[in-house]
Structure 1
Amino acid sequence: FIMVYQDHLTKFVLLRPLQSKRAEEVAYQLNDIFLTLGAPCILQSDNGREFVNKVISEVTQLWPELKIVHGKPRHSQSQGSVERANQDVENMLASWMADNKTTKWSEGLRYVWYGS
């Protein structure tokens, strides 16, 4: 799994490989990003299961002023720039894997992010 974090204003994207969509792992990655870049005022979720219950409670424990906004279910247009970033990442990662003759996408993720 790949977590795509995008700043709404600047469109700056961070990519994080995930072993699962477990709440603890997603919350850990979000907290790591927030400690590096600063927490946003608003976090928009794509309504993926990883953003339900425990993630929200864990993240808002450390960042109580963070507001969570959910996109419309099954309505990818409400997260247009993130959906475009996801497609770009998928295409670049497939290209990197083909060029390097590997299936280890997690190794290529940082190169794809750096080149984006």
Structure 2
Amino acid sequence: MASQEMRSRGELANVLSVSAAVAIAFAYACAFTILGDSAYASKFENGVLPDGVDVANGRVAAVGSLGCATLAWCLIACALASRVTKTAGAVAVLGVLAAVPYAAMELVAWQLVF
């Protein structure tokens, strides 16, 4: 019985870790959506958005990106709290490494959007 419970906790940690990796990928994708848009590139160069640009899409992407990043860290914490596995440890290390460039990208994205 105890080994069955330990195995299920390990599986839970692995599922949470993979979900965290997917959330990190979505956070990066949302940030790149803002930074790759030609309208926001124009704002970066000229200081103003071109006429007729809907800012709601960029704001949703910025908030969604931050939400996905927060969700990823919560999933990593839950995975490590349930059981430390190789997958959970690897995703935690990759999350720390991915957080540094993401923070810079997100600051620029928020400055462009708001």
TM-score by length of 1: 0.31
Structure number with higher strand proportion: 1
Structure having the larger proportion of residues in helix: 2
Output the TM-score relative to the length of structure 2.
0.31
Larger radius of gyration: 2
Q: Greater relative contact order: 1 or 2 (C-alpha under 8 angstroms, separation 6 or more)?
A: 2
